[in-house]
């Protein structure tokens, strides 16, 4: 019923016009629908453009505002305009300036790289070989903690992304989340159930059921995102995500209006 994490072709690795994504959301009967385009400071790979340029990000904002003007007042989902802010510590000033310059509905914070390694990029999969998987998770969750210290995000994106290709730490992902929990609660951020993971080699949501149950017990708020990079992915597995949340006793999911949290009963 809500899906706040969707991309547009302006990031160079998604297809379909925003109007097609929104039309799909309307067909599915979603109540709230949000775009969250990658930030222009996302780490690029080998000269391959995998994020919007600054100029393209401006286009994204223009297109979103035009879309909102045409869409608001029609039936269909409430349209939310957000950003997926890449956590790269050296770009904190840019992130802050971006946040100040545009009244986003929500900021999703995501970690996609450790140093110059884009660990979720299929072309960099070979770089997992010979690594200590537990150490990768330690560095990853340290980055998540540092991202919370940015104090710029409303939603943690795909909380346990390093598991994408099936690399699981011997100590279990739950132990890392347990350690992060006080910071997560103190930061007051929501965690998305990112349903894209179900369609990746790991075959489960980010985060998976055990972590969702633990976060729910701690009272961490949740939101939902398909991370669609094409219109047919809009709303994928959202029904299953809602079932999972309900099974964990969660009664509402969060959506955001100009960064103010709004609860939606489930
Ligand atoms: Zn993407
Ligand atoms: Fe992401
Ligand atoms: Fe995304
Ligand atoms: Zn993503």
Q: Which helix (H) or strand (E) holds 28?
A: helix 18-28
Q: What is the CATH number of the domain that holds 17?
A: 3.20.20.140
Residue 73 Cα, ligand 2 centroid: separation in angstroms? 30
Confidence of residue 250 (pLDDT cuts 50, 70, 90): very high
pLDDT tens for 58-82 read 999 999 999 999 999 898 999 999 9
Three-point CA angle 33, 37, 40, nearest 5°? 165
Cβ atoms of 207 and 220 within 8 Å: the answer is: no
Rounded distance from Cα 148 to ligand 1 centre (Å): 21
Tokens representing 256? 């955001």
Which residues does residue 264 pair with via DSSP β-bridges, in sequence order? 253
Give the range of the structural domain holding residue 231, as residue numbers without chain letter.
2-265
Average pLDDT of every residue of the chain? 97
For residue 110, how far is its CA from the centre of ligand 2 (angstroms)? 6
Angle at 245 between CA 247 and CA 210, to 5 degrees: 80
For residue 237, give both structure tokens: 């597995």
Judge whether residue 235 has pLDDT over 90.
yes
Q: What is the pLDDT of residues 179-230, one digit of tens each?
A: 999 999 999 999 999 999 999 999 999 999 999 999 999 999 999 999 999 9
> What's the Cα-to-Cα distance from 195 to each of 134, 138, 223, rounded to whole Å?
24, 23, 11
Q: Which ligand is nearest to the CA of 109?
A: 2
Tell me the CA–centroid distance for residue 36 and ligand 1, in Å.
10
Q: What total number of domains does the chain contain?
A: 1
Q: Using alpha carbons, select from 16, 26, 14 the residue that is nearest to residue 3.
A: 26
Residues 6+ apart with CB under 8 A from 129: none
Q: How far apart are CA 245 and CA 257, in angstroms?
A: 22
């Amino acid at each position: 019923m809500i899906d706040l994490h969707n991309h547009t072709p302006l990031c160079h690795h998604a297809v379909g016009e925003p109007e097609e994504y929104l039309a799909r959301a309307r067909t599915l009967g979603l109540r709230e629908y949000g775009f969250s385009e990658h930030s222009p400071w996302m780490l690029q790979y080998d000269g391959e453009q995998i994020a919007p340029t600054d100029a393209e990000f401006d286009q994204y904002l223009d297109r979103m505002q035009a879309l909102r003007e045409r869409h608001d007042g029609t039936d269909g989902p409430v349209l939310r305009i957000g950003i997926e802010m890449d956590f790269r510590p050296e770009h904190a000033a840019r992130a802050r300036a971006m946040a100040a310059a545009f009244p986003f509905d929500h900021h999703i914070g995501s970690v996609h790289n450790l140093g110059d390694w884009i660990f979720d990029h299929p072309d960099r999969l070979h770089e997992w070989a010979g690594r200590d998987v537990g150490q990768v998770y330690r560095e990853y969750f340290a980055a998540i903690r540092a991202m919370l210290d940015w104090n710029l995000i409303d939603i943690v994106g795909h909380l346990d992304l390093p598991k994408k290709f099936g690399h699981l730490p011997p100590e279990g992902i739950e132990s890392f989340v347990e350690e992060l929990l006080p910071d997560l609660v103190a930061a007051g951020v929501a965690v998305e159930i990112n349903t894209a993971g179900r369609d990746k080699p790991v075959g489960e949501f980010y985060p998976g059921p055990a972590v969702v149950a633990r976060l729910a017990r701690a009272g961490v708020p949740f939101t939902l995102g398909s991370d669609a990079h094409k219109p047919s992915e809009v709303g994928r597995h959202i029904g299953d995500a809602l079932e999972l949340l309900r099974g964990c006793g969660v009664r509402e999911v969060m959506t955001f209006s100009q960064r103010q949290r709004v609860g939606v009963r489930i």
